[in-house]
Every structure is written in C-alpha cells, then in structure tokens.
Amino acid sequence: MFYSIAKALSFLIFKLTGGIEIYGAERLPKKGPLIIVSNHQSLIDPFVLVTCIPMRIVFFAASYLFKIPVVRQVLTCGGAIPIHREKGDFGSFKKALEILGRGGVVGIFPEGGVSPDGNLRPLMPGWAYLAAKSGARVLPVTIWGSRNVLPVGSFILRRGRITLNLGEVMTFSGQGKVSREEISLMNERLEKEFRLLIIAQFNGRIFDGASKSI
C-alpha cells in the first residue's frame, strides 16, 4: 500500500513540475527477475523510476540514509535494502538475490551516489555480481533533467521536464561465479551503454523507440 501511495504522489508531483518523457518503454520486460541500473543525477531519481516503471522496484540505498529519521521511515516502508559502500555487504546481496529469485525487480544506482556535477562517475560492480549470480536480465536506464528539478544540495523542487531513456536489455550467463576480469568487462559494457544513452539525450537525439509522456 505504501508503494502504491508513493507512486501516486510521485506521479502527481512530476505532473506539476513539468512531467516526464519516456523513450524506449517497449524495451521494458513484462516481468522479472530484472535488475534496473540507472545513472544518478538527483535525489528524486528513485521516484522517477517508481513513477515510470509499472513493476514494484526494491532499491539499494546507502546505509547512512537509514540514520536520518524521516528518510529511514520512507526507505523502510518502501522495502529498500541498506548497502555499505565501504565494504562488501553480503547480507544485502543475499536479500536482493532472494527478491530476484522470486521474480522481483531490484533497482541500483551503480555510481554509488548522486553525481555532484552531472557527469557519469565510475560504476561500482555490485549489479554485475547480482546479474552473474541470479541470471536476471539487466535494463540500463538513463535519467536526464532531474537535477534541474531538484539540484544537488537543494530541497526545493523546480519546474523542469525530465527524460527517461530505456536502453537495450542486457543478458549474462548467470553461471553464478565470475572472475574479477569478467566483472570488469560487464562494468565496461554497462558504462558504454550509459554513455550512448546520455549522449543521445544530451544532443536531443533519442534512440529509436516509441515515446510516451507522464
């Protein structure tokens, strides 16, 4: 119920602030297991995905966010998984694998936090571990314009149009165990896909695919 309420409120808020244009919606799988990986431009990015993706997404969230009273309640009610960036958090990954094993959807921002300048930051490999271990499909998504609606360091929403671009679904072997070299190659493949999507959005050249507005 909380997720449905959050989705409805997010939809209303984005309608009032300028809306969202979605490209490549036909690439979204009809069901999981699915790992959604996205660049991170603003604190509102999770709400952008919740608004646009019909399936329920369980997000990874930095553990320090659970120490902030109001934020902790929101994350807990939303079922977010706390993750420690400084060390391997196998408990969190185990929970995510259980969700994927039930055919669920996990959302990850592999940059590890909001980009302070809008540029793509180095990608953390946790998503690749989950993909290799579970065999779940991976959907690259880029968000453009959210930092204009809620700039870094601000808590006041502004008007602005947000663009969500869904890339091609990526599949991996799901063999359960991969080397560091293979993880690195997976990360490179995702980074390349991110950069192609971001360049297309920045230049106003959205990839082929139907669009819809929210």
Question: Is the pLDDT confidence value at 185 over 80?
Answer: yes
What pLDDT does residue 204 have? 56
What pLDDT does residue 84 have? 75
Question: Is the pLDDT confidence value at 176 over 70?
Answer: no
What pLDDT does residue 200 have? 73
Q: b or e along 16-54 (b: 16 or more beta carbons within 10 Å of the residue's beta carbon)?
A: ebbebbbbbbebbeeebbbbbbbbbbbbbbbbbbbbbbe
What pLDDT does residue 87 have? 57
Which residues are CB-neighbours of 129 under 8 A, at least 6 positions away?
Answer: 93, 178, 183
Phi/psi of residue 43, each to 5°? -65, -20
What pLDDT does residue 102 have? 95
Tell me the pTM: 0.90
- Percentage with pLDDT > 70 across the chain: 91
In the chain, domain spans? 2-213
The class (CATH top level) of 2-213 is alpha beta
Residue, of 197 and 149, whose pLDDT is higher: 149
DSSP state of 123: P
Question: Average pLDDT, stretch 208-212?
Answer: 59
Over residues 102-136, the pLDDT tens digits come to: 999 999 999 988 999 989 999 999 999 899 989 99
Q: Which residue has the tokens 């977010």?
A: 80
What pLDDT does residue 2 have? 84
What pLDDT does residue 51 have? 95
Over residues 26-58, the pLDDT tens digits come to: 999 999 899 999 999 999 999 999 999 999 999
Cis upstream peptide for 116 (omega within 30°)? no
Q: Are strands 34-38 and 105-108 parallel, antiparallel or unpaired?
A: parallel
Over residues 57-113, the pLDDT tens digits come to: 999 987 777 777 777 777 777 788 888 765 557 888 999 999 999 999 999 999 988
DSSP state of 192: H
What pLDDT does residue 179 have? 81
pLDDT band for position 206 (50/70/90)?
low
Question: Is the pLDDT confidence value at 209 over 60?
Answer: no
What pLDDT does residue 205 have? 53
Question: Is the pLDDT confidence value at 173 over 80?
Answer: no
